[in-house]
């Protein structure tokens, strides 16, 4: 007999006293000799007082779908109950509960797991066999109605199979559903971030620990320093994200993490942590492309955006114009042929002695300068050339700034910053409008760290207003690297492709797949 998939919104969490009314309803129709409510109360007391019990509830929405219990004794973990309400049978609830118990047993260091099952209950026996249980013997008259019970025991030899059981359950269960809560983790560059997001859109918490101060001393990100800083911050950041969301590990349905692109050592910290948590919590792991995550910041704040969208992705490492045709379907319209916009900001800021990161520093200073003071070049502005004039080049602009400063030592830095910014923004806005017109976009979305730039935001919004084009500007906290966008992109990836195998490693040169 094949078991179906678990209900879409099944949640496994610790059993509570207030579940006991529902427990009694299921218990009465499941066992010839049901336990009394007082017995369950006693068991739940032991969970707290001595910790030698573990009781879990499976809920579907607000309904108790089933429950299960475990009693620890020396090296053994004995399943005391596993019952599913009549309306939820044959839908994988028992499998999920058993998988969860197997992990609880393993966590406690149990070497074997035991349970009793009716000889006539073939479906249950098959389920247990699929988890690695073997029949240890038949106990006469165990049940009151004088039916024999088989005593199934995962022997010491089969103890290792306790480890494989949850994996099997996971691959058969639903990867993600509308009520899924995803923990996102981001460590690709110089931000250690963790966030908890429900339904791919509700941000329950988003914690970002920035290493900016550490790297500012060196004028840029030092990869080895970044890895060590991630290692120190990762556990506290994840802990805070869970605490701020007010959730425990039982509530997390999947763990999403940036697998690339980024610094190899930095990525490895997040990927290792995410895989370990997914394995321990027995939930799916999903590897996320950092660029794709930036594209998803818009959907975090406005899930109603309609395709096709043109996304201007402007970060420290990339400048791309992307047509988003649907979730997960992208077409590259244009890209930088040399420096990224953020990179140009950082390099010019360093040259002007404004420190690291350069974007916010130039942005702030530009507010005090004249953007028309110096007519810096706008490269590749015509429609000619590759990609119908949608490619970018910023390295010439950077050189022009250097040459101008050398030739005009007395020029006001604020004017130079404002004029440099005007040139960058002019190019970005012109090409984004051009791209939107070319593909007949229904909206324009700004993404990536440079999307926090005040002038870019204002100019793009104004241009879109003039064109009658819908424009989406993510809030600044979501523009720079964060984990809420990782959880959102992970949620969509899980729906589309299912979990990522745990054999995947960090992929420093990962690219977006374009159609």
Q: Based on the shown chain and the rule CB under 6 A, indicate whether residue 270 belongs to the binding site for ligand KG4.
A: no
Question: Using CB under 6 A, which of 132, 270, 360, 443 touches ligand KG4?
Answer: 360
**From Zn ion, ligand KG4, none, interface partner of 345 (C-beta below 5 to 8 A by class):** ligand KG4
Question: Using CB under 5 A, which of 114, 315, 319, 500 touches Zn ion?
Answer: 315
What is the spatial distance between Cα 155 and Cα 283, in angstroms, rounded to a whole number?
26
- Give min distance, CB of 373 to ligand KG4, in A: 19
Q: Based on the shown chain and the rule CB under 6 A, indicate whether residue 481 belongs to the binding site for ligand KG4.
A: yes
What is the spatial distance between Cα 155 and Cα 133, in angstroms, rounded to a whole number?
8
- For the window 461-490, what string marks contact with Zn ion as x by the rule CB under 5 A? --------------------x---------
Those residues with Cβ within 8 angstroms of residue 245's Cβ, 6 or more apart along the chain or in another chain: 181, 196, 204, 205
- Give min distance, CB of 59 to ligand KG4, in A: 38
Is the torsion defined by CA of 479, 483, 489, 491 positive or negative?
negative
Q: Based on the shown chain and the rule CB under 6 A, indicate whether residue 292 belongs to the binding site for ligand KG4.
A: no
- Under the phi-then-psi rule, with left for phi > 0, alpha for psi from -120 to 50, and beta for the rest, what region is 382? beta
- Give min distance, CB of 338 to Zn ion, in A: 19
Chain mean position to CA 486: 4
- Give min distance, CB of 273 to ligand KG4, in A: 19
Q: Is residue 493 classed as helix, strand or coil in its secondary structure?
A: helix
Number of residues that bind ligand KG4 (CB under 6 A): 19
Name the segment binding Zn ion (CB under 5 A); options: 87-95, 313-321, 397-405, 460-468: 313-321
**From ligand KG4, Zn ion, none, interface partner of 455 (C-beta below 5 to 8 A by class):** none
What is the spatial distance between Cα 146 and Cα 388, in angstroms, rounded to a whole number?
82
**From Zn ion, ligand KG4, none, interface partner of 206 (C-beta below 5 to 8 A by class):** none
Is the torsion defined by CA of 292, 178, 276, 155 positive or negative?
negative
What is the spatial distance between Cα 395 and Cα 388, in angstroms, rounded to a whole number?
20
Mode of pairing for the β-strands spanning 181-186 and 254-260: parallel
User: What pairs with residue 336 in β-bridges?
Assistant: 392
Show the tokens assigned to 428.
């970005």
- Considering the complex, state which of residue 70 and residue 486 has its C-beta at the smaller distance from ligand KG4: 486
Let me know if 94 is exposed, middle or buried by CB neighbors in 10 A (0-12, 13-18, 19+).
buried
Q: Based on the shown chain and the rule CB under 6 A, indicate whether residue 104 belongs to the binding site for ligand KG4.
A: no
Distances (CA, A) of 368 to 412, 416, 476: 10, 10, 21
Show the tokens assigned to 471.
């424009």
Q: Based on the shown chain and the rule CB under 6 A, indicate whether residue 450 belongs to the binding site for ligand KG4.
A: yes
Strands, DSSP E only, in 327-420?
329-335
- Considering the complex, state which of residue 211 and residue 315 has its C-beta at the smaller distance from Zn ion: 315
- For the window 24-63, what string marks contact with Zn ion as x by the rule CB under 5 A? ----------------------------------------
Question: Using CB under 6 A, which of 369, 448, 490, 499 touches ligand KG4?
Answer: 448
- Considering the complex, state which of residue 327 and residue 350 has its C-beta at the smaller distance from ligand KG4: 350
- Considering the complex, state which of residue 165 and residue 313 has its C-beta at the smaller distance from ligand KG4: 313
Question: Which one, of 85, 109, 501, lies nearest residue 285 by Cα?
Answer: 501
Let me know if 435 is exposed, middle or buried by CB neighbors in 10 A (0-12, 13-18, 19+).
buried
Question: Using CB under 6 A, which of 7, 22, 173, 342 touches ligand KG4?
Answer: 342
Question: Using CB under 6 A, which of 260, 316, 369, 443 touches ligand KG4?
Answer: 316
- Considering the complex, state which of residue 114 and residue 188 has its C-beta at the smaller distance from Zn ion: 188
- Give min distance, CB of 481 to Zn ion, in A: 4
Interface of this chain with ligand KG4, residues 168 to 197, rule: CB under 6 A? 189
Site of interaction with ligand KG4 (CB under 6 A): 189, 315-317, 342, 345-346, 357-360, 363, 448-450, 452-453, 480-481
Site of interaction with Zn ion (CB under 5 A): 315, 481
């Amino acid at each position: 007999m094949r078991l179906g998939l678990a209900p879409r919104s099944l949640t496994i969490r610790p059993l509570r006293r207030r579940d006991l009314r529902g427990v009694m309803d299921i218990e009465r129709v499941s066992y010839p000799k049901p336990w009394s409510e007082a017995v369950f109360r006693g068991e739940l007391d032991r969970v707290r007082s001595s910790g030698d019990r573990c009781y879990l509830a499976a809920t579907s929405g607000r309904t108790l779908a089933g429950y299960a219990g475990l009693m620890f004794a020396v090296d053994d973990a004995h399943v005391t109950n596993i019952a599913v309400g009549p309306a939820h049978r044959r839908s994988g609830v028992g499998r999920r509960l058993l998988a969860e118990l197997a992990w609880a047993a393993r966590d406690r260091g149990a070497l074997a797991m035991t349970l009793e099952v009716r000889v006539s209950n073939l479906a249950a026996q098959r389920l247990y066999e699929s988890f690695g249980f073997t029949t240890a013997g038949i106990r006469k008259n165990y049940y009151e109605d004088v039916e024999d019970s088989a005593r199934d025991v995962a022997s010491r030899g089969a103890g290792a199979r306790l480890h494989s059981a949850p994996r099997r359950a996971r691959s058969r269960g639903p990867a993600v559903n509308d009520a899924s809560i995803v923990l996102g983790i981001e460590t690709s560059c110089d931000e250690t971030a963790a966030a908890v997001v429900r339904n791919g859109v509700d941000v329950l918490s988003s914690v970002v620990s920035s290493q900016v101060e550490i790297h500012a001393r060196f004028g840029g990100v030092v990869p080895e320093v970044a890895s060590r800083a991630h290692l120190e911050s990762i556990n506290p950041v994840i802990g805070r994200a869970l605490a701020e969301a007010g959730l425990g590990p039982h509530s997390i349905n999947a763990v999403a993490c940036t697998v690339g692109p980024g610094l190899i050592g930095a990525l490895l910290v997040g990927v290792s942590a995410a895989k370990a948590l997914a394995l321990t919590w027995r939930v799916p792991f999903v590897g996320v492309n950092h660029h794709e995550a930036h594209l998803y910041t818009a959907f975090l704040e406005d899930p109603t955006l309609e395709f096709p969208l043109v996304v201007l992705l402007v970060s420290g490492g990339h400048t791309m114009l992307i047509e988003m045709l649907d979730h997960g379907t992208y077409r590259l319209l244009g890209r930088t042929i040399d420096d990224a916009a953020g990179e140009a900001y950082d390099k010019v800021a360093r040259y002007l002695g404004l420190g690291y990161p350069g974007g916010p520093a130039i942005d702030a200073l530009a507010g005090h300068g004249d953007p028309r003071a110096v007519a810096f070049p706008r490269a590749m502005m015509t429609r000619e050339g590759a990609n119908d004039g949608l490619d970018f080049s910023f390295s010439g602009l950077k050189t022009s700034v250097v040459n101008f400063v050398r030739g005009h030592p007395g020029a006001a830095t604020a004017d130079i910053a404002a004029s440099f910014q005007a040139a960058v923004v002019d190019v970005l806005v012109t090409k984004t409008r051009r791209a939107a017109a070319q593909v007949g976009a229904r909206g324009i979305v700004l993404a990536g760290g440079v999307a926090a730039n005040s002038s870019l935001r204002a100019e793009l919004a104004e241009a879109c207003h003039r064109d009658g084009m819908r424009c989406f500007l993510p809030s600044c906290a979501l523009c720079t690297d964060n984990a809420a966008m990782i959880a959102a992109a992970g949620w969509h990836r899980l729906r589309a492709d299912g979990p990522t195998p745990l054999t995947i490693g960090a992929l420093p040169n990962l690219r977006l797949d374009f159609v």
